[in-house]
Amino acid sequence: GEDVEQSLFLSVREGDSSVINCTYTDSSSTYLYWYKQEPGAGLQLLTYIFSNMDMKQDQRLTVLLNKKDKHLSLRIADTQTGDSAIYFCAESIQSGGYNKLIFGAGTRLAVHP
């Protein structure tokens, strides 16, 4: 079946690195995504990784993909208070000409001084 799992909560100190983990089940997923949701807002696409890559870096964000273990992680370097939000992992499944996204329940990141 299709399932994406994430831990629900992560607390870090400002300036430290945050690592948010995700596991997924569909080995045929072509892309995996990280979205960010701030209070009262919709989901904002942060980054994505193609399934034949094992790492992607974009400024403070580093995505690691272990396809064998179906494990995805998002590392945020030098975490700031503005990074406090809910982070969603999603896998894509080809369905009827479009990419169907299966989301995890989200990890709430709290950044404290």
Residue type at position 107: T
Q: Please select the residue that binds other proteins; options are 104, 107, 109, 111, rule is CB under 8 A.
A: 104
Q: Looking only at residues 3 through 32 of this chain, which bind other proteins when binding is defined by CB under 8 A?
A: 4, 8, 31
- Ramachandran area for residue 97 (φ above 0: left; ψ -120 to 50: alpha; else beta): left
Q: Please select the residue that binds other proteins; options are 81, 105, 110, 112, rule is CB under 8 A.
A: 105
Q: Looking only at residues 28 through 57 of this chain, which bind other proteins when binding is defined by CB under 8 A?
A: 31, 33, 35, 40-45, 48, 50
Q: Scanning the structure block, which residue is given the tokens 């993909």?
A: 65
Residue 85 beta carbon to other proteins: minimum distance, rounded to whole angstroms: 14
CA distance linking residue 32 with residue 49, whole number of Å: 5
Residue 43 beta carbon to other proteins: minimum distance, rounded to whole angstroms: 4
CA distance linking residue 43 with residue 53, whole number of Å: 24
Nearer to other proteins, 95 or 113 (CB): 95
Q: How open is the CA angle 80-82-88, to the nearest 5 degrees?
A: 100
Tokens of 75: 């590392």
Residues that bind other proteins (CB under 8 A): 4, 8, 31, 33, 35, 40-45, 48, 50, 88, 92, 95-106
